[in-house]
Amino acid sequence: MTSLLDQLKAYTTVVADTGDFRQLAQFTPQDATTNPSLILKAVQKPEYAPLLTDTVAAHAGAALADVVDHVLVQFGLEILKVVPGRVSTEVDARLSFDLPATLARARHLMALYEAAGVKRERVLIKIAATWEGIQAARVLEQEGIHCNLTLLFSFAQAQACGDAGVQLISPFVGRIYDWYKKSSGLQWDEVAQSGLNDPGVKSVARIYAYYKQHGIPTEVMGASFRNIGQILALAGCDLLTISPDLLAQLQSADGTVHPVVRHLTPVTSVLPTPQPLSEAQFRFALNEDAMATDKLAEGIRSFAVDSGKLDALIQAQQ
């Protein structure tokens, strides 16, 4: 049997979206992504308790932020033992509107990886796609520190990331779907809004087409999926980061019955490069997109809460 997962890998680089590195090998992903919520979930599992305890003990007396970064990087180092490609490690979401602090934290994370013998090309620093986060990524990319801009919901965010020369973006599919489903209420038609018509899928497809048409090298990695239908509708996207539960569904599904069809393909013609967005244009365009404004703010708040919980777990062991 050829699984849907195997077929998907023929068109798209599959990335595992988890901090649970013990789950990774069975799906043989190329890369892996983490975020504060995933790391918080992992460190509360008994099998990861020694990693947390040992890392905190090894850096006794250090500032809390420094210890947190060591914990994040330790998970990243374990993940890199399993995946052949890259790991994404996220800057504290509470710094999403602080450009200098984001730069400092990103450089610190990369310095920790390099001190452990990991080359820069194997690490992506995840940063929320606020204006400040995108401008921080612009600087970091020029320093050879590659970035993954996350919590991306709007075309304006994607355009600004392309302008900044960001290595990779993670447009969120499931959270866009969630917003439109909730806002539609009883008018929502699940069948009509599925597959290629899913609002989250359509958002990623538009961004992908824009980058390819304009020769923008930024990689597009669809993220935040609710079902395998959303994943399969984006077959051909540069990368897709998928939770272990959905990876398992794809792996167990027989691809000979309904084979994977490639829906996204790069175009051969290249249009002139558009004018970069100014800060004012970016902020206005984001403000005009109610869904993106709501979900960006909500995502930052959620990650900030989980970062605070991770802080508390580490403080309890100091």
Nearest to 76 by CA among 94, 167, 205, 68: 68
DSSP characters for 144-172?
T--EEEEEE-SHHHHHHHHHTT-SEEEEB
- The amino acid sitting at 71 is V
The 3-state secondary structure of 100-111, one letter per residue: HHHHHHHHHHHH
Q: Please, what is the Cα angle at 9 between 169 and 292, to 5 degrees?
A: 25
Residue 126 designated active-site:
yes
Q: Which residue has the tokens 């995502």?
A: 299
Are the CB atoms for 138 and 162 separated by under 8 Å? no
Tell me which of 9, 45, 81, 126 is the catalytic residue: 126
Nearest to 292 by CA among 164, 159, 113: 159
**Cα dihedral across residues 303, 305, 309, 312: positive or negative:** positive
From CA 267, how far away is CA 275, in angstroms rounded? 21
Q: Please, what is the Cα angle at 136 between 155 and 134, to 5 degrees?
A: 5
DSSP 46: G
Query: Annotated catalytic sites, by residue?
Result: 126
